[in-house]
Amino acid sequence: MANPLPGWYPDPGGQPGMFRYWTGSSWSEILSPTPQAPPPPIRLSSQAGGPGAYGGYGGGVTQTALAPTKPKRSIGPVLGLVALVLALAVLGWYLVTHVLGSSSGGDPDDDPAGNPTVTVCPPQSESPPPTRSHPNDGRTHGGRLSYPTLGSPWGWVQSDDRLPFGSDVSEQTVPIHESYAINMSWVASLLVGELRAGDGFYSPEEGSEIVLRCILGTFYGDAEVTRADVRDQAMTLDGYEGWVVETNLSFDIPNLPTKSEWVVVIIVATSAESSSIFYSSIPEDSPDQVFEDTRATIDSLIVDP
């Protein structure tokens, strides 16, 4: 995936209901209560890094180009903004009526505990859980999931605080196309973390759909993405209920050789109040070892005590 397009994104500082403008290289100091506001005057804050596509999400707040958590192309900012507004309206309506509205199993209009949203990626909770203390045991930990840390060609484990639906995130990446566009790279990526989306009252199945709709609406810029599911089913991990979606995403982004990615999203209800997430995004033209490592990682996932 790649670095995100300029635009309004949920405030990385955590202010509920507020959006901060991403210029393509830095965050603006300006906040807005709506993602449909016009771009603010260019007065950049000192923070680098930004929301990306998750094969494109980078670690911390440094300018790191990855792949599945970053919007993937930066041409046509005006058209991109129009497309984003339309996508927000349509996908927001679907989330309200089909996903978040059905969390209690009844009619969405009769569900006072629902948390409707008009954004592609639901707002994170106002009180994010604290980062867990993880052991230094040769495994990569995030939320309550972990896997054996991968060696070359995978990079060092890095934390990532830009994922719109996660916290306490750890990921590893492999560069696939390092300079397909200016300041943009496309990578294979996998991560584990704590799932944060809306009010948290959803099943693992609903959580997986929230994540996938956020991915499709955010990580690929204004490119049209076709989803072809391979698996979409219940599973268990160490006795905890979960849901797995394995899908192939196809797209056509100018100057990018990659035309599809193999994506796996696993949501595990690790407690009565929260869920953990595993996410991987592997470009079609990744080396065979990257695919093999990802399959082995999925098989070796565990729920931490």
Question: pLDDT by residue (tens digit) across 166-198?
Answer: 888 999 999 999 888 777 889 999 999 998 765
Which segments of the chain have a pLDDT < 70? 1-4, 25, 41-120, 122-131, 162, 197-201
Domain containing 98 equals 78-303
Nearest CA-CA partner of 300 in 149, 121, 133, 169: 149
Axis-axis angle for helices 204-218, 77-94 (nearest 10): 160
Q: Which residues does 62 contact at the CB level (< 8 Å), separation at least 6?
A: 48, 49
- Whether residue 161 lies inside any domain: the answer is yes
Q: For residue 153, how many other CB atoms are within 10 A of its CB?
A: 15
- Whether residue 73 lies inside any domain: the answer is no
pTM for the complete prediction? 0.62
Nearest CA-CA partner of 189 in 265, 131, 257, 83: 265
Environment class of residue 24 by beta-carbon count within 10 Å: exposed (0-12), middle (13-18) or buried (19+)? Answer: middle
- Gap between the Cα atoms of 70 and 50, Å rounded: 8
- Gap between the Cα atoms of 28 and 168, Å rounded: 24
Q: For residue 12, how many other CB atoms are within 10 A of its CB?
A: 18
Q: Are 201 and 105 in contact (CB under 8 A)?
A: no
Q: For residue 279, what is the domain's CATH number?
A: 3.40.1000.10
- Whether residue 43 lies inside any domain: the answer is no
- Gap between the Cα atoms of 214 and 225, Å rounded: 12
Q: What are phi and psi of 250, to 5 degrees?
A: -110, 145
- Whether residue 72 lies inside any domain: the answer is no
Q: Are 71 and 53 in contact (CB under 8 A)?
A: yes
- Whether residue 256 lies inside any domain: the answer is yes
Number of domains within the chain:
1
- Whether residue 268 lies inside any domain: the answer is yes
- Whether residue 57 lies inside any domain: the answer is no
Q: Which two tokens stand for residue 64?
A: 């790191």
- Gap between the Cα atoms of 116 and 97, Å rounded: 8
Q: How far is the CA of 35 from the CAs of 22, 40, 86, 120, in angstroms?
A: 11, 12, 12, 11
Q: What are phi and psi of 196, to 5 degrees?
A: -130, 115
| Total residue length of the chain | 305
Q: How far is the CA of 290 from the CAs of 176, 199, 221, 243, in angstroms?
A: 10, 35, 25, 23
- Gap between the Cα atoms of 188 and 180, Å rounded: 14
- Whether residue 188 lies inside any domain: the answer is yes
